[in-house]
Chain A
Amino acid sequence: MLAAAWQVGSVAVTLFGLLAITFFMGRLLPIDPVISIVGEQADKATYDMVYHRLGLDKPLAMQFLLFVGDMLSGEFGDALFTGNKVAVDLGRVFPATIELATFAIIIGVGVGVPLGVLAAVYRGSLLDHVARFVGLLGYSSPTFWLGLMGLIVFYATLRWVGGPGRLDVAFIDSIEPRTGLILLDAALEGEWEVFANAFGHIVLPGSILGYASLAYISRMTRSFMLEQLGQDYIIAARAKGMSRWRVVRRHAFRNIRVQLLTVIALAYAFLLEGAVLTETVFAWPGFGRYLTSGLLAGDMNAVLACVLIIGIIFVSLNLIADALYRLLDPRTR
């Protein structure tokens, strides 16, 4: 009980610290949020009116308190550069990113982990080299470039996938958003045509992001596996006559699950932060672009809310990973 209270307390302090630092750093930014509302040609009276309305004339500490109040109310204040409540905006952009990130992590884990295991088991073989090459490429190719190339090949030339955007124009507005995840919403309503169309649109950006995390996950899996495969207990198991794959599955892989989980949680968290460039190329109205546009407009309400969300994502994925450790590793219980 005490441990749980301690944990909650430490999370709260972490998030508060994050907010305070971002808030005061944000105030040092040389960008004036008023301009993005009133326009560059506005006169002083208009400017002052909005400056006052935004509470920018109040003392800094007061502004911070008001801001924390907005955060606690769950509305996060007004996003200046969209004119909506930040909570409303996030309710729209975040599902788009969750959908994309989840698609990507499924690919990252589904392909990356087996690839890493194979590369470790067949260390030094052609397969290992291919896996390394694939990984290196995934690490080093800019997603922006990959995105455009992907669009040219699979969308413009082969027409296998949909173009930028989450749906074809004909399908925009065709389903009522319930979760905001179009694939899920379409499935819930049994609109399979919409589902297929949405799938055609997510498959390319999802795969490209998935590829980047695949590269990371497979390299990490490989090195974790190699470490285990070099251990004495593996040799002992083999000596007892256990088959190679049984050893890999029952012994080596089991022992890397905890480490792997951390890696996957981290990869997922990075994906959930949003991928500005991928979102830009694919006209994906997601979290990364929202945060960046907010930052460029000097819109601290939006930026701070996003930073808070990212903080929460990292903290909660950490907590989930911690809980899973306990399930997977009896020593941590």
Chain B
Amino acid sequence: MRGIVAAAVGTMALMGGAVQAATPRDALVMAWNLDALITFDPAQIAEVNGNDIIRNVCEPMVNYDLKDTSKIVPGTVAKWAVSEDGLTLTMTLRDDLKFPSGKKATAQDAEWSLHRAVMLGFGNAANITEWGFNKDNIATTIKATDEHTLAFKLDRPYPVGLLLSAMFASGSTGILDREEGTKNAKVTEGKSDYGNAFFKTAPVCVGPYRVTRWNTNDVVILERNDNYYGEKAKLRRVIIRHVPESGAQRLLLEQGDIDVARLLGTDDLKALAANVAATVAIEQTVMHGYSYLAFNGLDPILGNPKVREAFRYLIDYDGLAKTILEYQGAPRASLVPRGAFGALDAADGQPFKLDLERAKALLTEAGFPNGFAKKFILSANSFSPAVAQHVQSNAAKIGVTLQLEQMADAQLFTRARSREFEVLLIGWGAGYPDAHSMISRHAVNPDNRVEAKLAQYPSWRSSWIDAKVNEMADAAKMERDPAKRITAYHEIQRYMMKSGPMAYIVQTIRPIALRKEVKDFAITPFDVAYRTATK
């Protein structure tokens, strides 16, 4: 028996030799949860991982400055000009753009890429269609006038800063290879897929990296594109491994088997932070996304703005941020996130605190001194149950009974989109760093009728409509003087904090833990640049 044990230990030790630590010198190795990744076609990507990766593969026409997200810097487009009447936008592409094959990329490729995004009509086509372009007019409104020039005919004179941030810096403006896309297009029922199936695994794009392997729910590998026009990526490969469990990511990171851990839970982050022999750094980015409570306006009680205001005083914002939401959220009650153009400053954007008496008084004013009972639905994932219990226990103190029901995310979204809820805890991410992104969906509601089914508008989901806000938002959107636009947005935010259909709890934080030897891995809310990283 002793012999067997010794032999077993010996074998293990021998194997130990084969188990090597440390990642390859010329590769960046990341661990993430890749469950939601379903495509690399920039016209279709609708989730976080895909968006993060694609920005390093398909460069947008303009970029957010990595040092200051509210600034725009040129990307594949070198310069832009607006006509006097504000209705024609001319964009000049760089003349040294090349696909990874070395083939020249032209304005015709760019035109085709934008057209296909609109024609395919996936969710993020909205980045383009929101600005008056649609399937019927796109052939005439977005045109390549020569090899380097794209002309955009606008339906209204939008402020150019807003357009650049909302449309041209979005991942939907990556330049794909028209020839490859056309050649490999699939036609079903007379409709072309514009290479959607072909680009799914390998988008042929202008950008610092290219996707060379993708095993679903296992690994994604990017290789440097040596024909990229700009500064070449420092590391030859990026390997993204699917490691769905936070504890496993932490171990891999501590052992040096990965360089970057993208999805760590609060407990693992705390443990990493407490590690004295710290070989690991934690970077926290305040994202332009929220965790918030939504109330159904069709409900006679929750439809009362005073009741909703009361809920805003049932949340211990700072307490949450220090405990359950450490590394996960920063208190923010205004619907425009800090860091966005037009946002209220930290103090003005978060005027609430836990105040049970005030909440009770508001309920009494609203006519419910003895409270009420409501159903409260939420995701079973992450911190949602803990946050919901927090709200539940405070609500109970003023006589409001909340009955919690947890469910899978997919089910929660379905319930939210079909207005089947009373109180709801859910998240939302803004698409770009401009107040318009949140206001246009959370405050504006173009049509509140049930049959309008505007499920992409959380305002509609809450059955909340306010003609005054609709008008204010439209005026702000069209204001070409930046200073006046900011003032207009401030006013809308103050109004919404008083009467809006949501109680925003925190702006989400994205913690990323990385080995100290990794440098210049630029992390911003909308763009994580693997392309600049060294180690």
**A-side interface residues toward B, CB under 8 Å?**
30-33, 35-47, 49, 80-84, 89, 92-93, 148, 151-152, 154-156, 158-165, 168-170, 172-173, 193, 196-197, 199-200, 203, 280-283, 285, 289-290, 293, 296-298
Contact A43 to B410, CB < 8 A, known contacts A92-B216, A161-B15, A293-B217: no
Contact A38 to B24, CB < 8 A, known contacts A158-B16, A163-B248: no
A46–B121 contact, CB under 8 A?
yes
Contact A281 to B245, CB < 8 A, known contacts A155-B251, A169-B257: yes
B131 within 8 A of partner (CB): no
Within 8 A of A (CB), among B16-52: 16, 18-21, 23-24, 27, 29, 31, 35-36, 38-39, 46-47
A83–B200 contact, CB under 8 A?
yes
Contact A168 to B408, CB < 8 A, known contacts A43-B454, A200-B15: no
Q: 17 pairs across A/B with beta carbons < 8 Å?
A: A35-B410, A36-B36, A39-B46, A41-B126, A41-B428, A43-B126, A82-B217, A92-B215, A152-B251, A160-B16, A163-B252, A169-B23, A170-B23, A172-B219, A197-B19, A200-B18, A280-B244
Please indicate the chain A residues that have their CB under 8 angstroms from the CB of B252 in the complex: 163-164
B248–A43 contact, CB under 8 A?
no
Number of A-B contacts (CB under 8 A): 175
Contact with A along B222-262 (1 / 0, CB 8 A): 00000000000000000101111101100110110110000
Closest to B415 in A: A30
Closest to A296 in B: B408
A38–B122 contact, CB under 8 A?
yes
B19–A289 contact, CB under 8 A?
no
Q: For the complex, what is the distance from the CA of A45 to the CA of B12, rounded to whole Å?
A: 58
**B-side interface residues toward A, CB under 8 Å?**
12-13, 15-16, 18-21, 23-24, 27, 29, 31, 35-36, 38-39, 46-47, 121-126, 200, 213, 215-219, 221, 239, 241-245, 247-248, 251-252, 254-255, 257-258, 407-411, 413-417, 428, 441, 453-456
Contact A290 to B241, CB < 8 A, known contacts A38-B123, A45-B121, A203-B15: no
Please indicate the chain B residues that have their CB under 8 angstroms from the CB of A170 in the complex: 20, 23-24
| 9 further interface pairs, Cβ-Cβ under 8 Å (given A81-B35, A161-B19, A293-B217) | A42-B123, A43-B456, A148-B247, A148-B248, A170-B20, A172-B221, A199-B18, A280-B244, A285-B218
Q: For the complex, what is the distance from the CA of A151 to the CA of B456, rounded to whole Å?
A: 43
B251–A156 contact, CB under 8 A?
yes
Closest to B418 in A: A32
Please indicate the chain A residues that have their CB under 8 angstroms from the CB of B239 in the complex: 169, 172
Q: For the complex, what is the distance from the CA of A285 to the CA of B245, rounded to whole Å?
A: 12
Please indicate the chain A residues that have their CB under 8 angstroms from the CB of B417 in the complex: 35, 40
Closest to A282 in B: B248
A44–B455 contact, CB under 8 A?
yes
Please indicate the chain A residues that have their CB under 8 angstroms from the CB of B121 in the complex: 45-46, 49
Min distance, Cβ B521 to any Cβ of chain A, angstroms: 17
Contact A293 to B35, CB < 8 A, known contacts A92-B215, A164-B252: yes
Min distance, Cβ A57 to any Cβ of chain B, angstroms: 14
Partner of B454, one of A44, A155, A161: A44
Partner of A30, one of B31, B255, B414: B414
Please indicate the chain B residues that have their CB under 8 angstroms from the CB of A36 in the complex: 36, 38, 410
Min distance, Cβ B522 to any Cβ of chain A, angstroms: 22
A30–B411 contact, CB under 8 A?
yes
Kindly name the residue among B27, B200, B408 whose own CB sees the greatest number of chain A CB atoms within 10 A: B408
Kindly name the residue among B19, B125, B413 whose own CB sees the greatest number of chain A CB atoms within 10 A: B19
Closest to B380 in A: A296
